[in-house]
Amino acid sequence: MSVTSDRSPDEQQLTIKIKGRFDFSKHQDFRDAYEKETKAQRYVVDLKETNYLDSSALGMLLLLRDHAGGERSDVRLENCNADVIKILAISNFSKLFRIE
């Protein structure tokens, strides 16, 4: 599976990992990873093994943010490589997500 998700023991945090290209082909898997989640207070998208991200991936991140509570959401993007950071910077997604 190129999209996997893990719940922390206290069920407060859901971590979604994406392997390879993060583009429209991951759309369904990505949605499935969080859509049934109701307990988590915090969401982490681990992009350690993500080497590419396109605009539909940005759209998917917006969907996750919406699911997590919109303006009040806590969504972090972790382990971004330089290319991914560049894409996030151009779209100024740092204004919506904590990028670590």
* Nearest distance, CB of residue 54 and other proteins, angstroms: 9
Residue 25 engages other proteins in binding (rule: CB under 8 A): no
Residue 60 engages other proteins in binding (rule: CB under 8 A): yes
Rounded Cα distance, 61 and 37, in Å = 15
**Which residue among 2, 56, 79, 81 contacts other proteins (CB under 8 A)?**
56
Beta carbon nearer to other proteins, 4 or 55: 55
**Which residue among 19, 21, 24, 76 contacts other proteins (CB under 8 A)?**
24
Residue 2 engages other proteins in binding (rule: CB under 8 A): no
Residue 95 engages other proteins in binding (rule: CB under 8 A): yes
What is the 3 state secondary structure string of the chain? CCEEEEECCCCCEEEEEECEEECHHHHHHHHHHHHCCCCCCEEEEECCCEEEECHHHHHHHHHHHHHCCHHHCCEEEECCCHHHHHHHHHCCHHHCCEEC
Under the rule (CB under 8 A), what is the footprint of other proteins?
24, 55-56, 58-60, 62-63, 66, 71, 89-93, 95-96
